[in-house]
Amino acid sequence: MEFLQQVEQLGFLVWVREGGSILGYPLILFLHTLGLGTIAGLNGAIDLRILGLAPQVRLAPLVRLFPIIWLAFAVTALSGTTLLLAAASTKLVSPVFYVKMVFVALALVNLQFLKTRVLARAGVDTQPLAGGARVLAVTSLFLWCAATMAGRLMAYLG
């Protein structure tokens, strides 16, 4: 616990937490929210397409969204790490944080499965979807919603 309190006292993290600048905590929180919204939004659009919404939209070109999703993940991870370390002594001892991380990890694995087992398959737009594609889409929606909910609960439970 003492180590976590020392981490929180690093100059940059004190500035983020207590500086009062719009470039500190508010901007980092905004970037975290924007990144997560981009990840979950694009992933959700892919999931809903797999589940049958907007059947006129081809699935194969949706693979081009993955670099944007991964860039958004990088922004989310960096901003989230900063927010986490700014309150390390409370957040890193909270079980809710670890629940959130499990949901995020599972959602990312699920995302890769969607890409490799569904979207990157030859004939994805001309043949029936691979077995389990809809299960992956529903699972994806659940995991991103659960990760988001756990993240919000961190503000209240830990």
Q: Report pLDDT for 1.
A: 76
Contacts of residue 93, defined as CB under 8 A and 6 or more positions apart, other chains included, come to: 1, 4, 158
- Domain limits, the chain: 2-157
Contacts of residue 147, defined as CB under 8 A and 6 or more positions apart, other chains included, come to: 100, 103, 104, 107
What is the pLDDT tens value at each position of the chain, 158 positions in all?
Answer: 788 888 888 888 898 889 999 999 999 999 999 999 999 999 999 999 999 999 999 999 999 999 999 999 999 999 999 999 999 999 999 999 999 999 999 999 999 999 999 999 888 988 888 889 999 999 999 999 999 999 999 888 86
The tokens describing 111, both together, are: 């995302």
Q: Report pLDDT for 153.
A: 94
φ, ψ for residue 36 (rounded to 5)? -65, -40
Q: Give CA separation, 97 vs 20, 83, 86, 116, in Å.
A: 25, 12, 14, 29
pTM of the model: 0.90
Q: How far apart are CA 141 and CA 148, in angstroms?
A: 11
Contacts of residue 16, defined as CB under 8 A and 6 or more positions apart, other chains included, come to: 24, 25, 28, 82, 83, 86
